[in-house]
A and B are shown apart, each in its own frame.
Chain A
Amino acid sequence: QKEVEQNSGPLSVPEGAIASLNCTYSDRGSQSFFWYRQYSGKSPELIMSIYSNGDKEDGRFTAQLNKASQYVSLLIRDSQPSDSATYLCAVKMNRDDKIIFGKGTRLHILP
Chain B
Amino acid sequence: DARVTQTPRHKVTEMGQEVTMRCQPILGHNTVFWYRQTMMQGLELLAYFRNRAPLDDSGMPKDRFSAEMPDATLATLKIQPSEPRDSAVYFCASGPQGPYEQYFGPGTRLTVT
Contact = CB atoms under 8 A, between A and B. Distances in A.
B45 A44 contact: no
Given A96-B56, A97-B50, A99-B100, A43 B43 contact: no
A99 B47 CA distance: 11
Q: For this complex, into which size category does the number of interface residues on chain A fall?
A: 20 to 34
A36 B100 CA distance: 13
Contacts of A36: 104
Interface residues of B, number: 20
Interface in A65-111: 88, 90, 92, 96-104
Given A88-B43, A99-B45, A43 B55 contact: no
Interface string A42-73: 11111001000000000000000000000000
Contacts of B99: 32, 49
A96 to B, nearest CB: 7
Contacts of B35: 101
Interface string B28-70: 0000010100000011010010100001100000000000000
A25 interface: no
A44 B56 contact: no
Interface of A: 32, 34, 36, 42-46, 49, 88, 90, 92, 96-104
In the A-B complex, list the 5 residue pairs whose CB atoms are closest, starting with the nearest: A103-B42, A43-B104, A101-B43, A92-B100, A32-B100
